[in-house]
Amino acid sequence: MRYGRVLLLIALIAPSFAWNFNNLFSNSEVVNGEIYLHPLSPKESSPERIKRQAYQVYVGGDTSVSVDKGGQQESGVWGQWTKDRECSRTCGGGVLIEKRQCNGQCSGPSVRYVSCNIEPCESGSKDFRAEQCSQHNDDPLDGNYYKWLPYTGKNKCELLCKPDTANFYYKWADKVVDGTKCDHSSDDICVEG
């Protein structure tokens, strides 16, 4: 008789315990009413820790230069600018990277980012960040497949995506493709992360 009561008690407790345990790790649960970073995702980078360097930016005919060499004496000559990377986009505004070498101590930037293919993309084209997220639709995450949509986290230049059917996001890449807009409220773009 006692044996039967113990089994009945275990039967009543076990399903409750299993349900709570599964919910603890469920991908579709909301934590405190907010979207959360998936436990298997690489962690987001803090935007304050991003390294900024001196560089030169060309947009049309305008040039913006930011250089700080700390008063170094110039004793070298710069070589020619050479293309380091092709334009990152075919339309909608991409970035082309050029570099140059110095044969001593030179002032000025060794890298410049050139705006390219600034013509608008065809009407009806998918948002560029959404395109990058959708490239992961066929990548399984924890044995599941999702339709990925853009998600904006702390660092706007990381590729963070959220499934259309769940309340978590996942960091697919440390950097979006150069030329990706930081957000929809400005024309700022991400370059080199």
Please give the domain boundaries of the chain with CATH numbers for all domains: 55-116 (2.20.100)
Q: Do 149 and 130 meet the contact criterion of CB atoms below 8 Å apart?
A: yes
Question: So what's the pLDDT on residue 4?
Answer: 41
Q: How far is CA 84 from the centre of its chain?
A: 22
Answer whether 0.85 is exceeded by the pTM: no
Question: So what's the pLDDT on residue 38?
Answer: 86
Q: How far is CA 42 from the centre of its chain?
A: 11
Evaluated on CA atoms 120, 152, 173, 167, the torsion sign reads negative
Strands 82-85 and 62-66: unpaired
Question: So what's the pLDDT on residue 20?
Answer: 32
Q: Residue 88: name the closest of 42, 137, 128, 130 by CA.
A: 128
- CA pair distance 100, 113, nearest whole angstrom: 12
Q: How far is CA 104 from the centre of its chain?
A: 36
β-partners of residue 144 are 141
Q: Do 70 and 49 meet the contact criterion of CB atoms below 8 Å apart?
A: no
Q: Along the chain (193 residues), what's the average pLDDT of each consecutive run of 10 residues?
A: 37 33 36 77 71 48 44 76 93 93 90 93 93 97 96 93 96 95 88 87
β-partners of residue 63 are 58
Question: So what's the pLDDT on residue 34?
Answer: 82
